Amino acid sequence: MIDRWIEKFGKRKLFFMLLTSILIIGIIIAGAKEYYSMRFKIGDQGFKYDRTENRKTYFVDDEGQSLIAFADGYGTFITSNHQDVIIQYKNQIIKKTIDHDSERPIKIYLDEELIHEGEWNDDETAYYRALMTKVIDKSIYFQNGLLTYKIFIFIIFGLIISVSIVYPEAIWLFQYMLVVKSGEPTEFYILTLRITGVVLSFLLIRIAFL
C-alpha cells in the first residue's frame, strides 16, 4: 500500500503529507487536552487556570475571583506534593504543611488556625483536601510546560516516522554506510521499518493524551 502511495504522490510529497498529518493530529489532541486540563470543579464551583507569574499560579473561579497558589519558603514554583503550599482565595489563606518526622505529617491551616492533622481521610476537611490537591496538580502540570515538550516530541518523532515509512533506504544507509559498500536493504528490512513507523505513530498519539 505504501508503494502505491509513493507511486501516486511521489516520495517527497508523501513525506510532507505524512509529516504534516502527524503534527496536525498530535497538536489538535494535545491542544484539546491542554484546554480541558485548564478547568476543574470542586463541588459546584468551577475554576480555570489563568497564568503563572512570579513563581505563583493564578486561577479564576466562575465568579471571576482569583485564587493564588505558591510554595511556602522554597523560593520556587510548586513542583511536588511534598512541598508546603499556600492558597489565597476569597480573603482566606489555606496552608498545607508536611512534617516528615511526625506520625501525622499533613497539617491544614485556615487563616493560621489548624483545622486538619493527619492523612487525607477526614470528611470535615474534604473541601480543602480536594481544593489543595487539584490546585497543586494543576500548578505542577502548567509550570512544567508540557505542551511545549509535546510539540517538540511531535516534530522529532514525526520526522522519524515519516522517514521510516517513506525513506527506509535512507535509514539503512545511515546505519550501515561505514560497514557496507554498494549494498541495499532487503524487503524484510523495509517492511519492518515501515511497521515500526506505524507503531510509533500510535505511540505518538498516546503521548498526546498524557
Q: What pLDDT does 6 receive?
A: 84
Q: What pLDDT does 122 receive?
A: 57
**Residues sharing a CB contact under 8 Å with residue 204, sequence separation 6 or more, in sequence order:** 22, 26, 153, 154, 157, 158, 161
Overall average pLDDT of the 44-68 stretch? 92
Q: What are 91-96's contacts with CB under 8 Å, separation 24+? A: 94/128, 94/131, 94/132, 96/132
Instruction: Yes or no: say if 98 and 82 are a contact pair by the CB < 8 Å rule.
Output: yes
Instruction: Yes or no: say if 57 and 139 are a contact pair by the CB < 8 Å rule.
Output: yes
> pLDDT tier at 75 (50, 70, 90 boundaries)?
low
> pLDDT tier at 87 (50, 70, 90 boundaries)?
very high
Q: What pLDDT does 184 receive?
A: 86
Cell numbers found for residue 143: 509550570
Name the 3-class secondary structure at 134.
helix
Would the pLDDT of 123 be above 80?
A: no
The whole-chain average pLDDT of the chain stands at: 85
Share above pLDDT 70 across residues of the chain, in percent, rounded to a whole number: 93
Overall average pLDDT of the 70-91 stretch? 82
How far apart CA 144 and CA 158 sit, in angstroms, is 22
Q: What pLDDT does 47 receive?
A: 95
Overall average pLDDT of the 96-108 stretch? 79
